[in-house]
Amino acid sequence: MIFGYARVSTQDQNLDAQIDALNKYGVDRIYHEKMTGKTKERPELEELLKVLRPGDKVVVYKLDRISRSTKHLIELAERFENVGVDFVSIRDNIDTSTAMGRFFFRMMASIAELERDIIVERTHAGLEAARARGRKGGRPSKSADKIALALDMYASKRYTIEQITEATGLSKTTLYRYINVRAQ
């Protein structure tokens, strides 16, 4: 089955040009929505991703209509490849059912992987340099006195969690973590 996906960013924008192009391509069903590409929650796209089966094809008018970022586009392309779905962008002349289309997406994936690896290397180098200067990183540990006071207040059952966190400066998460450790 050939599925189309169309999206505009605001309610004022019009989907007609995209829908016309998708119909001209010959899609069987169009999923469309009026929602900014920056938001992760796009119900129509999620619905489309749920119905895809091997041998299907997803068609968009332009790449930026389906993805929020290059990383998101690559994630979608990998998902399509894993399911066995071809992907077509009409305006960008991309069709992963062709050798050139697959090559394009593999190049994009390789560049993204390289970028991730470089970021990881820089992060590790920065952490090593900080350690060499005596910095250990991470959040500062809480004082044993504050933890003991918080646990005693909690055990007395006379204080609310909010009162305990205000008095000791511990967060709720930290307080509950120490409560659970004590209970074991």
> Which residues are the active-site residues?
9
| Two structure tokens written together for 123 | 């992060």
Angstrom distance (rounded) from CA 43 to CA 31: 10
Angstrom distance (rounded) from CA 176 to CA 178: 5
Match 């050798």 to its residue by tokens.
Answer: 99
Distances (CA, A) of 120 to 1, 72, 79, 115, 125: 40, 19, 24, 9, 9
Strand partners, 31: 5
Length of the chain: 184
3-state secondary structure of 17: helix
3-state secondary structure of 155: helix
Ranges assigned E (strand) in the chain = 2-8, 29-34, 57-60, 86-89, 94-95
| Two structure tokens written together for 111 | 């560049």
